[in-house]
Amino acid sequence: MLKIENLHVYYGGIHAVKGVSLSIPKGHIVTLIGANGAGKSSTVRTVAGLERGKGSILYKDKNILGRPTEEIVRNGIALSPEGRRILPHLSVEENLRLGAYIRNDKAGIAEDLEWVFSLFPRLKERAWQAGGTLSGGEQQMLAVGRAMMSRPELLMLDEPSLGLAPLLVKEIFSIITKIRSLGTTILLIEQNAFAALSIANYAYILETGSVVLEGSGQELLHNPQVKAAYLG
């Protein structure tokens, strides 16, 4: 569904992504693992049109590199950004409705709103509360729910477990597998290698801007190198 070929991203003089290639088949969870500064976020941000890059990003066999973000979102790619980026002054429901901005089907939006609320009952209790007053875990749920409101075909999640308690991480990851089972393709960025590899169909390991290792989730989970470097 998404094929990144030889992608380079620069920030001024810094070469953040150095020729990354990866492919994400439809209906899979593909995870991108690596330490801080490995170029994971730069890669997804470029896919979402927030950064400029060189190379090619083929989505449904069309190059989307350099297209404006709104067009990419309209084509069915959603990114739940790093740090959750909830709009603190908007209510939970408004945050979700903003996620559905590109859609005009009122009934469908209402339906999906209910669906997100059923997925995250805690959000329903807080529907009218300002997003900024939620706890970290609730904000993460809201960020995932908001990204799903555009009914994406490809959902990119940038570190959904960041700063969450282990129990919440488990909950988020079970939701992610649930979203896959509904037919959404997922690109998951993680530092929490164990959790990510456990649910991923395929994984890439990034180090200082290049892919150093790739393989199926289970394979990498048992790879001694990965164990030493990421699983502890």
| Site string (101-140) toward other proteins, x via CB under 8 A | xx-----------------------------xx-------
Is there binding between residue 69 and other proteins (CB under 8 A)? yes
| Site string (142-161) toward other proteins, x via CB under 8 A | ----x---x-----------
Is there binding between residue 98 and other proteins (CB under 8 A)? yes
**Which residues are CB-neighbours of 13 under 8 A, at least 6 positions away?**
none
Q: How far is the CB of 58 from other proteins (least distance, A)?
A: 21
Is there binding between residue 48 and other proteins (CB under 8 A)? yes
Is there binding between residue 162 and other proteins (CB under 8 A)? no
Identify the CA nearest to 24 among candidates 32, 33, 15, 16.
32
| Site string (49-68) toward other proteins, x via CB under 8 A | -x------------------
Identify the CA nearest to 204 among candidates 28, 10, 84.
28
Q: What is the CB-side half-sphere exposure of residue 76 using CA atoms within 13 A?
A: 12
> Measured between alpha carbons, how far is 162 from 195 in angstroms, rounded to an integer?
12
- Structural contact between residues 210 and 20, judged by C-beta atoms closer than 8 angstroms: yes
* Residue with Cβ nearer other proteins (102 or 213): 102
